[in-house]
Amino acid sequence: MKTIETRRVVITGVGLNSPLGNSYDELFESLKNSKCGIEYIPEWENVKSLGTKIAGRVKNIDLKQIPRKYRRSMDRVAQLCAISTTNALEDANLPPEIRTSKRCGLSFGSTMGGNETMFQYIPEVKENMSFRGQNSMGFLKIMSHTVSANIAQMFSIKGRNIPTCSACTSSSQAIGAGYESIKYGLSDVMICGGGEEHHYLSAGVFDIMGAATTKHNHEPEVASRPFDESRDGLVVSEGSGAIVLESLDHALARGAKIYGEIIGYATSCDGEHITTPSQNGMKQVMETALEDANIVPSDVEYINAHATATQKGDIAESHATYSVFSDKPFVSSTKGHMGHLLGGCGVVETIICLIALNESLLPQTLNFKKLDPECAPINILGKNIEKNITIAMNNNFAFGGINTSLIFKKYKG
């Protein structure tokens, strides 16, 4: 049998827009100071039968920094991702001749396309039974791969373009696809990430399922409570992120700074219920990621959990995590700080893992007081700790039983 040669994959650039800040440094400071980016949304009072009235929003961002010729085919989700990508490419100091070569690719995703454009476009066409007067850019803003398509155009990407539209695993699958593209020699550079835009549609979807918090609309900073016995649901938020991946040899040859190394990745499907999480599916994806990384469970020192503060999800994840790792690694969910970024959570939580590795900050699970007795006794961080670690894991799980697990290692040369 032919042996497949593999290459080491490193992260050389990061960019993000989140409720906790719009850069690596801002995110680090917000986590260090236990800030919460969730707020009351007064305009949602006008949405009938919407129980949840809180969200995390991106602030202090100028979307018009994107040239109009690109912005005109983007709704907010693509615009957020485009700015994150701009920042990641600048951070990586990736020259145009590399970015536009056939060896540089793109992998990006979101749960949906532009919600606001969709709300305008479809009702007008249906009511009038006519496309007269419709903007020709409308569909380009709402199509499922609007993020990856628009970013590819804006940055003249000529290599692979892999859209990943898998709800809450969109950006973690994007990172995994980029990692595998480089690991197996199909690309030298991959720009990966994803995002979600602020809209009451996203909140309403979870609200009617009984999965969104409704008890803390007027105290939003304590609303998201992953793993806590008093949790009553998730907070839907917006955000985006991008990271630049390179083969280690490629990064070293051009003298790039290195944030960390991706050493393991797995994605799997439960093949069971379309919304109910599977403990076995979660367990399997973590074990497979460990196999890909060629490490054992005791090597993992910190896990950034998906834990969205839903009843069933947190319980299943805690038992899956305990069955693989026991109570050895530190575990936290940073959704207490900023809510659930949906398609953007995987990449922003990846950047949080890089902060844990490089800044020795293991962030707390904000608002965690007492573990739900139905959860397994995993080692949940109720406060920030400073600890020098070498290996971190990020897990994400989505509707349809889609699971992802990414493993990162501190780069030491």
Q: What is the pLDDT of residues 347-370, one digit of tens each?
A: 999 999 999 999 999 999 999 999
CA 382 centroid distance within chain: 22
Q: What is the pLDDT, as a whole number, of residue 121?
A: 84
Within 13 Å of residue 22, how many CA atoms lie on the same side as its CB? 15
pTM of the model: 0.97
* pLDDT mean across residues, the chain: 96
State the Cα–Cα distance between residues 228 and 372, nearest whole angstrom. Answer: 5
- CATH of span 9-409: 3.40.47.10
Helix axes 146-154, 76-92, angle to 10 degrees: 50
Q: Give catalytic residue positions.
A: 168, 306, 340
State the Cα–Cα distance between residues 366 and 310, nearest whole angstrom. Answer: 15
Q: What is the pLDDT, as a whole number, of residue 167?
A: 96
Residue boundaries of the structural domains of the chain: 9-409
User: What are 246-290's pLDDT values in tens digits?
Assistant: 999 999 999 999 999 999 999 999 999 999 999 999 999 999 999
User: What are 207-246's pLDDT values in tens digits?
Assistant: 999 999 999 999 999 999 999 999 999 999 999 999 999 9
* Residue 1 confidence (pLDDT) above 80: no
Pair 363, 381: CB distance under 8 Å = yes
**Torsion angle, CA of 317/371/31/198, rounded to 10 degrees?**
60
